[in-house]
Amino acid sequence: MGQIRLANYRLAVMTVLAAGLMAAAAAQNKETNMDWNELTPEEERVIAHKGTERAFSGEYWNLKDDGTYVCRRCDAPLFRSDAKFDSGTGWPSFDDEIDGSVKRVTDADGRRTEIVCANCEGHLGHVFEGEGFTPKSTRHCVNSISMKFVPEKKQEAVQQTQRAIFAGGCFWGVEHFFAAETGVVSTTVGYTGGHKENPTYKEVCYTDTGHAEAIEVVFDPSKTSYERLARLFFETHDPTQMNRQGPDIGPQYRSAVFYIDDEQKAVAEKLIAELKAKGFKVATKIEKAGRFWDAEEYHQDYYAKTGHEPYCHVKVERF
């Protein structure tokens, strides 16, 4: 009996220690991953849990455009289009990777060689050698869902632009002002800040998605600055209203700055402090940017399409 109790005690101790180690690892992993892109359940299945998409089902298996394929989870460049070839297998195939971008790991079965992103270790697929498809006789067999494609014509623009995300009531009105601002390359209205994946306008309005109507602004930092855009944001909606803008009422109409990096966060904090010093009771929240979900097409450039003017957004000098 004494030996049984001792064995049970040891088992209990080992269980507690294992749980502690798992919790510590999870906490460390969460801290490490805080800047990675959010994934859908299907992307998570493949990238984080080493799944495989069906052959001929991915969006890139037959893509022939010039550009660069980057990691969907961390945006690290992986493959160039000139290394891509048609293997007839139904998955994107490359006979070379960008130097240092891919790590090889022996599969658990000891036979195949897995390839993962060298930056975030997200699962990409497998690599095979000696098949003779190309002179390099190497085939990186990659899941489309593990990657994003950046067309060549957009690469230079992507490198030279920055993003900003703001929420200030009805996104039609917010976009109206940003679209006309010097230095703004593009605007997209959508939803962010909540928990519902791929939300619809109806869900954001009538269910508890946690999302706010927001705008993603792509801008050229050589022609404008994040601070200038943030000032425009605070002057084209009422930052003192809580969960509303004019006649639009609800948490989806809240005022929020979704910062991309610490520099943007510092700018937002500085401007809010300036407004408070002027006597404004600022209700604007500062939140770390998460995944931005594009709104339905009929919401994009709404006022430009209809020729109407914003009904609850006006520009008021506050600085």
- The string of pLDDT tens digits covering residues 226-252 is 999 999 999 999 999 999 998 899 999
- The 10s digit of each residue's pLDDT in 175-198 is 999 999 999 988 999 999 999 998
User: Which H/E stretch holds residue 156?
Assistant: helix 152-160
What CATH number should be reported for the domain whose range is 41-151? 2.170.150.20
Lowest mean pLDDT among 159-173, 202-216, 257-271: 159-173
Contacts of residues 122-125 at CB distance under 8 Å and 24 or more positions apart, as own/partner, are: 122/47, 122/48, 122/71, 122/72, 122/73, 122/74, 122/146, 123/46, 123/47, 123/48, 123/49, 123/50, 123/51, 124/71, 124/78, 125/52, 125/91
Cβ burial, residue 50 (10 Å; 0-12/13-18/19+): middle
pLDDT band at 269 (very low <50, low <70, confident <90, very high): very high
Average pLDDT over residues 12-41: 52
Q: Where are the domains of the chain?
A: 41-151, 161-306
Q: What is the pLDDT of residue 209?
A: 95
Q: What is the pLDDT of residue 234?
A: 97
pTM score: 0.54
Residue tagged active-site, from 71, 117, 120, 170:
170
Is 141 an annotated catalytic residue?
Answer: yes
Q: Which residues pair with 94 in a beta bridge?
A: 84, 140
Is 71 an annotated catalytic residue?
Answer: no
Average pLDDT over residues 10-39: 49
Out of 3.30.160.270, 3.30.1060.10, 3.40.50.300, 3.40.710.10, the CATH code matching 161-306 is 3.30.1060.10
- The 10s digit of each residue's pLDDT in 71-102 is 999 999 999 999 999 999 999 999 999 988 99
Contacts of 199 (CB under 8 A, 6+ apart): 191, 209, 211, 293
Asked if residue 103 lies in contact with residue 52, where contact means CB atoms within 8 angstroms, the answer is: no
CA-CA distances (angstroms) from residue 8 to 12, 16, 125, 230?
6, 12, 42, 61
Report strand pairing: 285-288 vs 255-259.
parallel
**Tokens 């293997």 correspond to what residue?**
87
CA 36, CA 72: separation in Å to the nearest integer?
9
- The 10s digit of each residue's pLDDT in 161-179 is 899 999 999 999 999 999 9
Cβ burial, residue 134 (10 Å; 0-12/13-18/19+): middle
CA-CA distances (angstroms) from residue 36 to 119, 171, 290?
11, 26, 9
